[in-house]
A = this chain, B = another copy of it.
């Protein structure tokens, strides 16, 4: 299963806030064995949202869109997603019913932006806030407020399934360039994915389909690199 994540918000593109939602979603999806093929951040602009969602929903198995839900004039994500699927936005009775029952709001209190979903969308209730999410075909629309987004993802995560992978980390106290031949041999010998992340020391991340393979590959490499002082056999 391959997923694209679209994070919507001018405040992300101006560098005002770190895109922690994307990182959190990537980690959760990876834990489920789902590949994230792309993360894209775009402005609060209907036509851009429509164009990007339209493109990705055809290219990926699923699209997760976060941000830009709510009552203010710059919350245009639902409108963009509706346009991506050639649908209109309309008042959704399940949203009104849920907000009246669970949220204690009366329909009269709620602004249009909060109760309108793309036609024939499925509502995702917002347990931590007001504005609901929506599912339109393979596209999941979640809020941008992290507590709301996370609670909503918890409700839908069972729809995202892949083949979980196993990961081991080996830390080497050598220049990354010096390790190249051993990393290539590691990859070929064990048929694993190898990533290396330089810093003070080099972290080598080994990913395999089974725990046994990941551990064997990590043990093989750990015996062949200079370990940082005070490190365990593997770390």
Chain A contacts to B: CB under 8 angstroms: 10-20, 22-30, 35-43, 70-74, 111, 114, 130, 145, 176-177, 179-180, 183-184, 187, 193-199, 205
Given contacts A111-B177, A196-B72, contact A41 B43 (CB under 8 A): no
- Asked if B19 and A205 make an inter-chain contact with CB atoms under 8 angstroms apart, the answer reads no
- Asked if A38 and B39 make an inter-chain contact with CB atoms under 8 angstroms apart, the answer reads no
Stoichiometry, copies per complex: 2
- What residue in chain B is nearest A42 (Cβ atoms)? B38
In Å, the complex CA distance between A14 and B12 comes to: 20
Question: What does DSSP make chain A's interface, helix, strand, loop or mixed?
Answer: mixed
A18: which B residues are within 8 A, CB to CB? Answer: 18-20, 23
In Å, the complex CA distance between A36 and B13 comes to: 6
A198: which B residues are within 8 A, CB to CB? Answer: 70, 145
Given contacts A111-B180, A176-B71, contact A41 B38 (CB under 8 A): yes
A15: which B residues are within 8 A, CB to CB? Answer: 23-30, 36
- The 3 A-B residue pairs with the shortest CB-CB distance in the complex, in nearest-first order: A15-B27, A15-B26, A39-B41
- Asked if B14 and A26 make an inter-chain contact with CB atoms under 8 angstroms apart, the answer reads yes
A197: which B residues are within 8 A, CB to CB? Answer: 11, 16-17
Q: Which of B19, B35, B37 contacts A19 (CB 8 A)?
A: B19
- Asked if A10 and B183 make an inter-chain contact with CB atoms under 8 angstroms apart, the answer reads no
A12: which B residues are within 8 A, CB to CB? Answer: 23, 26, 39
- What residue in chain B is nearest A147 (Cβ atoms)? B199
